[in-house]
Each structure stands twice: as C-alpha cells, then as structure tokens.
Structure 1
Amino acid sequence: MIKYSALFCYLLLLTIEIHARGRIVKRKTTTKAPKYTIESWPGKWFPHPPLPKDSWKGKWFPYPPYTNGQTLRDQHAKNTLSASEICDDGKQNIGVDHDPSDVRQTFEHLCLANRSSYSPNMDREAFRIEYFIPPAYVAPSKCLNETINYDTALPTYGAFRPIPPKYGSYTYLPAQRWVSSLSRGAIVMLYHPCAYSGQVKLLQDTLRACLYRHIITPTQALSPERALALLAWGKSLEMSVVDENLVVDFIRQNAGKGPNVPSKQQNISKTYQAGLLQEAHLVTDENDEEVCGYREDM
C-alpha cells in the first residue's frame, strides 16, 4: 500500500512539473514585440521615414521625400526657386551685412583717415586684375541666416544674397549685395570716402553715361594708393587717377558678362533698395544694347 502511495505521489509531482513547464514554454512563445506605427515610433528615421506624412512637423534633410507625386529633385528645385521669398526680402534682418538705418554701421561711408593721403597721383599706374573662375563654378545664393565672407578685400565673384540691389548709387552697399549685381553682368564702381571728390565725380559720370546696369558705392576696403575701382565678374580695375580711355575700355569689355545675366524678357520683381541715393537712368535700354555709345572714337 505504501509503494502505491509513493508511486502516486511521484506521478502527481511529475504531472505538475510538466504542466508548469508547458505554461513557461507557452508564455515564452506567446510573448510578442510591441508594434510601432510611423506616427508612434519614438526613434529617428534614416535617411527618411518609409512613408511621408503630412503631419510631420520636424525638419527634413536635405529636403522632404516624395510628396504629392513630386520627386526629390522637383521638390528641391521648388525650394531653390522660392529661396528669395523665404530667406531674404531685402528689408528684414539686413543688418547681418549692413543696415543703413543703424547708426553703429555708418562709418563705412565716412572719411576717418587723413584725406591728403588719398590724393590722386598721376605717376601711379592702375592695377587690372583678372581671376580664374572654373567654368563649372556655380556661385551660391545664401540666405541671411548664413554669413558670407570673402577671401579678398574687393570680391569680384562668390556667394551673394538672393535679392539683388536696384541699379544706382548708394550711401553704402555691402559686398554681399553688389556681388549679385556682378553675376548679372553689371559694373560696380567703388571709391574710398576720403578719395578726391573731383576724381570720384569723373568716374561716376563716365559710368553713368556708359550703361544702365551699374552700382556706385563707397568702401573702406580701398587703399590710399588707389582709392577708385571698377569691378566686373572676376575682374577689377584699381586706380589713383581716372583714365577715361582705360575706364571705357574696361566697361565695354566686361559689361553684360556674368553667370546670371538676365534675359531680355526677364523682369526682376524684388530689389534691395536700402541706402539707395539715386536710381540709375536708362542710357539705351534696360538691356544696355549699346555700351558707352557716346565714345564713338574708341
């Protein structure tokens, strides 16, 4: 009788253990990983979510994935074309480069040095410089949230702001704006605030008589030896004394040349006008069909 009781107890314990193991195994096999949807996923997607969602409030890099049937290239092109409306309107936040209404930035057009050291010197030759720009180079248009710096004191190419300045004379125009004009084929005249006024007037009168697409602005970047300069895309002419023949030759050779020269049908809807003193007047037409036409002898 004792043997049967012991055997019964053994079988009972074995049954309980088998059931316990079965429950453990079953518990392991039924455990499932949590399901995440695109909206509830707490991590980060790389390079972008598997499916785009209009409800995404974050930032895409480098630009949003496929949306409304558009490809990535189409979306990027759209963002590029509308950059001038998004990041620069020519009025707000311009103090990053120069704000003429800010008294702390008025020194640019003031003569703060000895004016006699900037007197014209007939014996000092003019400097004519031409920079090599690779044919594949594309100058970037940068928003006001990016700082633009140049490697030279008188930049003739490089990055610029999206909104170009209106053609004419300024109390002071920063390089980030007039480099944009150079890319559109304009000629930029620079003069030091301490430069001899008679030479400044002679150079600006010559430039105004030659073409409509021009910019005139003072700058502290010019040296006492050569306080006057003309710039074109990738080229510069620095001088102490205005040689009208040399000036006209430089303008004729370089006017209308640049990577972003507007077509005859193209109309610039928005322009930068902060500090504009005098708007440029037409010589022939807005496209400057004839440059320096008054000088038929050249």
Structure 2
Amino acid sequence: MLKNIVMLCMTIVSAKAQRPYDEAWHRRWFPHSPNELDNNPVVSDGKNLNDVHHGIAMGVVDSSCDDGKTNLQIDWYNNEENYTCFENKSLFLPRANVHPIDSVEHIPEAYNAQHKCMNESITYNEIIPTFGTHRPLWAVYGEYIFLPRHRWLHNLEHGAVAMLYHPCANKNEVNILKSLVKSCLYRHVITPYNMLSSTRPLALVSWGHRLEMSKVAPAVVIDFIKKHALRGPERTHKNGQYDYGLKENAQPVSDMDDQILCPKVSGGIEMK
C-alpha cells in the first residue's frame, strides 16, 4: 500500500516537471491589460491640489484642474472681438477735460481669494475687478494679444500691475502708457480689454485699486504705480505658467524684485 502511494506521488511530480512553466495571465485584467488602451478619462495627475487658504493650490500644472492649455474657452472664446476695434474710433479719442478716476475697493485683511479649476466658470460683479476668485495658474509677465481677467487677477495678488486698454483706444495714448508701464516695473501684464468705456478707454489695475483714464497723465500713472504696485497679499516675483497669447516677455527694470519702481522715468519722460 505504502509503495503504491509513493509511486503515485512520483508520477504526479514527474508530470508537473514535464509540463512547461507558463507565466502568462489567462484571466481578466482590471481595469485593463498592460497592452490595452485606457479609454477612461484622466482624473488627476496625482498631484496634491488642496490648499487650506485658496481651496486649490496655486501654480500646480495639472490637466485635471488647470494646465494653462485645456478648456480655455470657459474664460474666453478665442475670437478677434476681444482685441480688435469694431466701433467708431472717434468715440475713443483722448479728451483733456476728462479727468482720471482713481478708485479703491476695501478688501478685508483676512480675505483669501479662491482658486477655481477650468471646469468651473467665474463671474465678477465689477467691470474692472481688482480682486476676487481666479485661476490657479497666473500669467507669465509681459504683453498679450489678449489675457482674460481670470488670469491677471492672480498676478495682481502677487503685486503686479495690469495695464488694460480698449481695442479702439487711441494708439498713441496706448503706446505712451505701455512705455511707462514697461519702464516702471517687471511685474506687469498688458492686454486689450473691450469692457472699458469710450470715455476712459485706458486703465491700470492693482490689488484693490484701479485707475481709469481718457488720456495718459504720466505723473498720475507713475504715482499710481509707486503707491499701489507690489501691494498684493502674496508678494512674489516668481513668473507665471500661463502664456497663451503672450506677445512679449516682461524685462527686469531695477531688478526681478522691482526694488525701485520707475527708476528711469520722471514725469513720464524716460531718463537716460
């Protein structure tokens, strides 16, 4: 009896030894096999997007939230209406008798602007907002074909100044203002903005402040920048990640920190 059992075991072992070893998996894979295309949408890039102050962390490039490339149409439809004049330009001519308006909005000290991903729309109560909810990625500093307010508001939070001009504004006045801004600080963004009025088609915006003009008053512009630039709650010169429509990168003026504002301009005249 014992001899028969031993012989049976040896037969089984021998049979297993002769069977070729197979590492292949013959059952179903979950969610899919290694060679099968995954048709499921990406949920996250695996990055931590949580932020106790803003809801969504700033500056994290993530395709499920904000990568500066996906779903941009939620903020603006890429059409020429945003940066082309379709109105009577004579209505936007500079008027010496129209004085600049310098306005301020009270922002509570404990206020934290929220960041929203590109699957949520953002609306503003003001035509020219000076603070509010915005996108997690801020704009690369410089001049744009068009830059949505959802982006430049984040730059303001970092202490930047945004220069806005109506597409129908007088080109000479626009160029004067551009030159002043570029000569005053590195942390600036420049963009057309067709929501400005024909009476005052030029504007400067900082965190909590706005200056609207019909005609460039250099001394007023310089005073505004010196008083209100670099006053955002998050003062960093770190450049942004959003660059869609960027025409020209900003260049350092005094230095990357803008330690000296408008160092080469006096009364609107660039000093050599």
TM-score (normalised: structure 2): 0.75
Structure 1's consecutive aligned runs of 4 or more residues displaced over 6 angstroms after TM superposition are: none
Aligned partners of 2:50 and 2:56 also within 8 Å: yes
SS at match of 2:151: helix
Offset at 1:81? 3.6
Q: How does 1:1-298 map to 2 (within 5 A)?
A: 76-77=50-51, 80-81=56-57, 84-86=60-62, 87-98=65-76, 102=78, 105-262=79-236, 267-268=238-239, 271-295=241-265
In 2 relative to 1, CA 139–118 (structure 1 residues): closer, same or farther, beyond 3 Å? same
Offset at 1:261? 1.4
Offset at 1:295? 3.5
- Deviation digits for residues 186-242 of structure 1 (CA, Å, limit 9, x no counterpart): 000000000000000000000000000001000111001001000000100000010
In 2 relative to 1, CA 82–115 (structure 1 residues): closer, same or farther, beyond 3 Å? closer
Q: Aligned equivalents of 1:203 and 1:116: distance in 2?
A: 19
In 2 relative to 1, CA 75–123 (structure 1 residues): closer, same or farther, beyond 3 Å? closer
Residue number in structure 2 paired with 1:32: none
Q: Aligned equivalents of 1:258 and 1:199: distance in 2?
A: 27
Unaligned runs of 5+ in 2: 1-47
In 2 relative to 1, CA 209–145 (structure 1 residues): closer, same or farther, beyond 3 Å? same
Q: Aligned equivalents of 1:152 and 1:192: distance in 2?
A: 16
Structure number with the higher helix fraction is 1
- Deviation digits for residues 224-263 of structure 1 (CA, Å, limit 9, x no counterpart): 100100000010000001000000000000111111212x
Q: Aligned equivalents of 1:82 and 1:251: distance in 2?
A: 25
Q: Aligned equivalents of 1:202 and 1:80: distance in 2?
A: 38
Unaligned runs of 5+ in 1: 1-73
Bigger Cα Rg: 1
Aligned partners of 1:111 and 1:193 also within 8 Å: yes
Offset at 1:96? 1.0
Aligned partners of 1:83 and 1:143 also within 8 Å: no
Offset at 1:98? 2.5
Aligned partners of 1:98 and 1:173 also within 8 Å: no
Q: How many pairs align?
A: 217
Q: Aligned equivalents of 2:111 and 2:201: distance in 1?
A: 30
Amino acid in structure 2 at the alignment position of 1:206: L
SS at match of 1:209: helix
In 2 relative to 1, CA 164–259 (structure 1 residues): closer, same or farther, beyond 3 Å? same
- Deviation digits for residues 14-72 of structure 1 (CA, Å, limit 9, x no counterpart): xxxxxxxxxxxxxxxxxxxxxxxxxxxxxxxxxxxxxxxxxxxxxxxxxxxxxxxxxxx
TM-score (normalised: structure 1): 0.69
Aligned partners of 1:171 and 1:217 also within 8 Å: yes
In 2 relative to 1, CA 83–216 (structure 1 residues): closer, same or farther, beyond 3 Å? closer
- Deviation digits for residues 89-139 of structure 1 (CA, Å, limit 9, x no counterpart): 11111111125xx4xx22110101110000000011111100011111110
SS at match of 1:248: helix
Q: Aligned equivalents of 1:173 and 1:75: distance in 2?
A: 24
SS at match of 1:231: strand
SS at match of 2:265: coil
Identity of aligned residues (%): 38
